[in-house]
Amino acid sequence: MEKLSSVLFWDIDMNEADMDKYPAHFIQRVLEYGNMDDWRLLRSYYGLQKIVDECKQLRTLDPVCLSYICAISHTKPEEYRCYHTRQLNPTPWNY
């Protein structure tokens, strides 16, 4: 965990953070704001299947990140919770 970019987790105490207890938080932050080194560390720690399973439960996920996860895991966006919640709450500038 100490190898991940510290700017990703500016709002939490890294000494008390637990990657096993809150995997969704770490996965979402790295996907949306991390670099490729962060991604490689995350993937080696959790494995692709665990990352995909956690992403399927997220309420929000950047559309680019969703597309990336779908592409590398050969899944469909419809399988992800964030895909359906995004459609329920469209913003005026996304028409």
Instruction: Give the whole-angstrom CA distance, residue 91 versus residue 29.
Output: 22
**pLDDT tens across 20-73, in order?**
898 999 999 999 999 999 999 999 999 999 999 999 999 999 999 999 999 999
What pLDDT is recorded for position 43? Answer: 95
Q: pTM value?
A: 0.82
Residue in 35, 28, 95, 92 with CA at minimum distance from that of residue 60: 28
| Contacting residues for 14 by C-beta, under 8 A, at least 6 apart | 1, 2, 6
Q: Which amino acid is at 21?
A: K
pLDDT band at 10 (very low <50, low <70, confident <90, very high): confident
Length of the chain: 95
Angstrom distance (rounded) from CA 82 to CA 85: 5
